[in-house]
Structures are given as C-alpha cells and as structure tokens.
Amino acid sequence: MSTLTLAKALNEGMRKAMEDDPKVLIMGEDVGKLGGVFRVTDGLQKDFGEQRVIDTPLAESGIIGTAIGLALRGYRPVCEIQFDGFVFPAADQIITQLAKMPLRSLGKVRLPVVVRIPCGGGIGAVEHHSESPEAYFTHTAGLRVVACSNPADAYTMIQQAIRCDDPVVFFEPKRRYWEKAEVDTSAAPAGWPPFDQAQVVRPGTDLTVLAYGPMVKTCLEAAAAAEEDGRSLEVVDLRSLNPLDVARVTESVRKTGRCIVVHEAPVYNGFGAEVAARVTETCFYNLEAPVLRVGGPSTPYPPSRLEDHYLPDLDRVLEAVDRAFAF
C-alpha cells in the first residue's frame, strides 16, 4: 500500500501503462517539461522522453485530431485538456470523428484514445477553468465517459481507460487532486473493480445518494451528518457515466425507496436528469418519494468569490434529504 494524492495516483497509473505498453503516448499543453499545470504528468517526459510525452501547441482541436491519427496507426494516445472549459474547441473532433469512426468503419477501426479533463470548481479559478461539461459527452453515442473520485480509483481507472479499445473521456475532480488515500499499486488488474461498475462507498438503508467525481466526498460527509439524525444514507459512486451501471443503481434504490442525485453541473438538463429518469423507470413501485436532484443553478459559473454559493455543499445535500423524507 502507498499513500498517494489523487494527482500522484493518476501519475503512477499512467507511468505503469507506459511501462507496460510502448504504444502509450501522453500529449497536451505543458504536459512535458512542466509536468502539467497540476503536475499530474510530472517526471514522465524525463523518464520516457519527448517522443512519448509530447508538449503540444495551444490547440485543443489539433491535439485530439493528432491523437485520432496516431490511434489509426496503432498508438494509444492519452490527451490532456488543460482545463475543462478548454475542451470545446476540440468538441468537433471528439463528437464527429472520435466517437463515430468505429461505427463508420463497421468496427474495423478502433480508436483507443483517452481524453483527460480536469473538471469542476472549488479552486478559485478564473472563467473557463471550473466547468462541468460531462452531459455534452454522455449524450454522445460512441464515447465511454468515466469520473474518478479518489486516489485508488484514479490509479486503476486511468489504466483501464488506456487499455480500453473505445475512446474514453476521463473526468478528474481537480479540487480533489491533493487529497490523499491508501492505494494498492501491487494489486493485479483482475482484482480491480470493473471499469463500468458503480461502487457502494457507504452502505445505508433509508435513502440512496448517487454522485460522482468531486461530489462523492461531499455526499459522504452529508451521510455522516445525517446519521446523527438517525437517517441511514447509502452513497453510490457512479464512476462510469456512459455506460451507466443501471443494475447497481436500481438495486440500491429498490432497497432504500428514496433517491437523490448530486453533481456540480447545473441541475437543468444535467446528467442527473438522465439518472433520475432511469431510476423512476426501474424503481417506480419502490419509491417513497420523487427522485430529487442537487446541483448548480442554471447560470454560467460565477467569479471565484461567489463559487461557494454556486457549488452544492453538505447543507444543500441535507436539505434534499429532508425534502425526500417529507413525502
């Protein structure tokens, strides 16, 4: 066991993938000599060279387009989008090329490209640096979309994403980069949780809380606070957003009878709307209350001084819990 930050766990996971497969490449803005703005790729260019850890121009569309070409030639590129708000210039390449090429070729062409995106707020950043764009990509057929929430998952999931023959959009909760936890770096891949499986991170009996990425920790804190009021909350880390682990979500909600979905992104048309609809469809006769959603307001992400008012916190999660129990 090693005690690693989430950022270091990602680094170690990519390092292991590069050691195991010489076709794995890292590419992005400042990922080489600087080691990335969050130092997630720190030391990789020094150890693997400039041919495998590539500092690219400031051109997100070019980064993804180049990665697609490399994947066509048998490489496994891992692209870093420096900040979440910078992904939109690359959206054309991701949505119209990366997601569609396997079907366009009737499965003859595989594009094992990973697009890493530091996501969410909470770091006091300027505009375009605190977005939550996951719903754009979960709506795009042909992409796998995953989100890690802790160092242990970061270490295993980044390797699973790199090994995957499908294109993967990999969301990393940037405000959790510096949080530490125990990581078993010696465990064999066969012992890792499946890539597309949700995990119950806190068992409970009275209400299911579904979350992913940066909100998992907030929901765990809310569950601990609710326990003091005699309420047992089950917290499920979705981990994979597309495909969604409907079976595990359904199992939890049928047991508890109540459900809230939590994410940083705006509630309106957010990913939580899809989750809430699925839960209602599969658990209608088990529900004691409507499925409730907690997220940001329908407004552009605010200046950093106001972000604490924008981001869902423990109190907003507990307020939703109170509403669920009021039915």
**Catalytic amino acids?**
129
- Distances in Å between the Cα of 10 and the Cα atoms of 32, 218, 265, 279, 290 are 15, 21, 23, 32, 37
What three-state secondary structure class fits 90? helix
The closest alpha carbon to 55, from 77, 27, 35, 80, belongs to 27
Q: First CA to last CA across the chain, in angstroms?
A: 45
Give CA angle at 293 (217, 169), nearest 5°. Answer: 60
- The Cα–Cα gap between 285 and 314 comes to 29
User: How many angstroms separate the Cα of 201 from the Cα of each of 13, 105, 112, 219?
Assistant: 22, 40, 29, 10
Residues forming beta bridges with residue 229, ordered by sequence position: none
Of the candidates 123, 121, 186, 182, the residue with the CA atom closest to the CA atom of residue 153: 182
Instruction: Let me know: does 132 contact 84? Beta carbons within 8 Å.
Output: yes
